A and B are shown apart, each in its own frame.
Chain A
């Protein structure tokens, strides 16, 4: 293959489309001349995306052209039309990027010409990528044998994949198996069902020919990468090693520690129990008399769990039915009745029972009187403080992710000197190595042998960071998908939905990595970073900054890439001070060459400013297209270079541009921090951190710090783009022209 690649001799042709207003807004002859000066063939067509246009390109390909620069519309449209197998295709955005967003004129013409030159050099610097191919496994490992895990296993197995299901307890079923009755798994959701539905699921899992069940088994450790995970299991009959393609993590939840709820009488009165204990009582037939349910016990409370566990209202409504079936009255005191999704039907049905009494309210006190519990409730909807005498008080305590409290990744446990990333909600500051060992003793679930840490990174409350904006099951560890209550507290029906989603993601993953392709968000990309390790200085920046923990390290600190863990964001190449990391289709040299193609006019009297703008291609660049589509106009002094992520902008680009006389650098990327929108989690935050290095560069060049600016932009804020650009140009005008112009 490698030899074949060397034989790929580029034969380049530029195609200029004059449709959609391009021909009216620009001097096409002058554009053609640009190509000719570059000694590249050039053709003009009135509508390249039409059948005639595509046929023309195809016949050229047959005649031997293999590197095509299409100067027409944005690369975000017609990508399917201009997709030619075996060819390098580079798109120059003359439509949205030039004629739709700028009035015709000299500056607009030079903008188009710069873009064309940049496109040509980019095509020249692009190589055909080759996939990273290995003999991968398509077996899916499901961790956790509760409803979520069993559903994920069944879904994947029914789709034809081999599944290994690992459950730490002796029997399948998880929490649901410990309950007296359950709410419905599927519609109609207004029912309470007995455990036979669960038993049916367990039987199906245990008898499925594609599912191998390991009970009383835990994960010893996991190493490798998607498609090539080596999983060591600790089974009752000893250790076992298996090869796995992708992992669904459904390790579930643990109940909140009710001993912290003494203010609600727990531990003080024997009649005060948790909802879990009440299930046991119901199972043993010990439910009798009147029962009061305290919702959000230790939840939605900064002192305890700050969040809503989303299932407890449903559970209390179900348990209230246990009470009324035995002839007692059931009182439910809630903060807000929350029965998500179609479980609203369940709420409606339970409400109809005249022995179930509901009100919003706050528990003022719980005391004992003549063997009865007296609950004082204030701020009720009844308009006054009420006293209720009951036999049992049930505390609706919440769910805690199984990951909570475990040692997850190093960045969440920084030492005192490290500034934690902004997206980490509550970093645990570590004072010594021993402290880490102490935390690690709490146990582990995955025990990943990754440089960055043994578990899935979490975002807050110990819930794994699954960026729900894009895909709820995604994690920052490629090939590992969290589902069910480990990911977020949820009721049964949602666990089932979640499990299906995660199973599909796992299937997608094993199929993609088998072909050397990456997963979301650059799904299908085969181009992976190459490391020229001879020049590596072991600075460890790439291994630390990779958002996906794709890079491990040898003892010396040299990175050990795992291409199948890689999401191709380019954060590593943005980090590398030695510029030794590059993709076939995205490299330091390529971007630097593009910057060099920008024509920087020199006129001491009337300086013509030139700005380079790095736009993140996930949100900022589409926003630019949307702005153009909506008729917004901005200055033609700006040369936009799309980047995979702001995190892939290397300081050397800035230095190159400024030393060539470019007056300012604008970087536009996604929002970062706790509610980040960055598709690579912390790319834009890293770009911001690297501004320190940028300022060093500016100092070295004796330039003003105002010449570089970073802006966070949401895709919906496309209307703000002209303002952002205008503001920056004003800022540059105040600073004045770059003194390096003309050198």
Chain B
């Protein structure tokens, strides 16, 4: 048994700074609306975290059964905020399995934040100096973004980013799956969702039901203390998907040779704007609640805020960019550049930031449905 105070320190930094306050009363496991009756969480995770038990923590898929309803934190008699600790453990999990691991560790420490933003800014500088048709200079006349940065360039970078993200996330979740599979013996089998009472599923079926869980937010919906998170996350999640669809339609238009800078009445624009509104309100709600409830259930750690803040920045700069473009103000170009940087950051760091939870959670749920806990 290797108790590791360094890992405890890491969990502190990842947002679980209250974890040592736990006295193992198990109020958290009792009040949790999502915790199963057998081998419940987060009581056991709290003491594993206090002892810094790497082996246990990094193979614990139960952290993904937690949707941070925060009932545990609200009822915790010691202010140990298990909800925050579980979030920190998810961060540690992502950082541990992501590829390359050394890079992933940068996301656990706020000191590296400037570096993470400096990279895309430099890249953009290089782009304007070397590849942009007009260099840094703004084109004259009506605001048309493609006159400054051709859409082909944006899409090319986007595709490259996408490929990288899929590769890096793929390596990460492969490592995670392998690690989870190394530990079967003493696990209780508690299927969730549609599979309830059905016994083990095969992997494809497990994955299918895991995706259903994710897209319908079924477990989220069982939250009590932070019911809002269901709606807010729903907004962010579908807002993001609608924006993705809108982008794909735009790519189709581009391939058809139609000029972009679409009017607000275009279907792609309508879908995109609905998505933007959902994303904005969802993200705003998440930000607002963190401030209002910080004493009751916690404020969230750096890892959490890096993702949420960036996402919120994408939503705000996106909306401002569109507004300035419609108003035909030259400042729209600068806003567009800023927006692109935030989008770039959001995507390129997706394998390491909280964004990766989409993949890790789905994989963990699928694994659990197929092999038990």
Contacts and interface: CB of A to CB of B under 8 A. Distances in A.
A352 interface: yes
B5 interface: yes
A480 B137 CA distance: 97
B21 A351 contact: yes
A381 interface: yes
B9 A360 contact: no
Interface stretch (A86-94, A382-390, A489-497, A515-523): A382-390
Given A329-B5, A337-B23, A354 B12 contact: yes
A122 to B, nearest CB: 57
A290 to B, nearest CB: 9
Contacts of A653: none
B308 to A, nearest CB: 27
Contact of B51 (A352, A353, A359, A360): A359
Contacts, number: 43
Given A331-B3, A354-B9, A382 B20 contact: no
B372 to A, nearest CB: 16
A388 B51 contact: no
Given A354-B12, A357-B51, A382-B47, A348 B1 contact: no
Residue of A331, A353, A358, A386 with most partner-chain B CB within 10 A: A358
Contacts of B39: 383
A355 interface: yes
A355 B52 CA distance: 10
Interface in B239-285: none
B30 interface: no
B53 A382 contact: yes
Interface in B64-79: 78
Contact of A355 (B5, B24, B47, B78): B5
A352 B9 CA distance: 11
Contacts of A348: 21, 78
Interface residues of A, number: 20
A359 B46 CA distance: 11
Contacts of B21: 348, 351-352
A390 to B, nearest CB: 11
Contacts of B23: 337, 347, 351
B8 interface: yes
B50 A357 contact: yes
Contact of B20 (A329, A351, A360, A383): A351
Nearest to A382: B47
Interface string A326-345: 00010100000100000000
Residue of B1, B47, B48 with most partner-chain A CB within 10 A: B1
A388 B53 CA distance: 13
Nearest to B52: A354
B1 A353 contact: no
Contact of A352 (B20, B24, B44, B56): B20
Contacts of B5: 329, 354-355
B51 A382 contact: yes
A176 B76 CA distance: 36
A416 to B, nearest CB: 50
Interface string B15-54: 0000011011000000000000001000010011011110
Residue of A360, A382, A386 with most partner-chain B CB within 10 A: A382
A329 B56 CA distance: 19
B125 to A, nearest CB: 42
Nearest to A376: B1
Interface in A369-407: 381-383, 386-388
A121 B312 CA distance: 93
A323 to B, nearest CB: 12
Contact of A381 (B1, B47, B52): B47
Nearest to A348: B21
A383 B3 contact: no
A431 to B, nearest CB: 51
A741 to B, nearest CB: 67
Interface of A: 329, 331, 337, 347-348, 351-355, 357-360, 381-383, 386-388
Interface of B: 1, 3, 5, 8-9, 12, 20-21, 23-24, 39, 44, 47-48, 50-53, 56, 78
Return the 6 tightest CB-CB contacts between A and B, nearest first. A354-B8, A386-B1, A354-B5, A355-B5, A352-B20, A357-B3
11 contacts: A331-B3, A351-B21, A351-B23, A354-B8, A354-B20, A354-B52, A355-B5, A357-B3, A359-B47, A359-B51, A382-B53
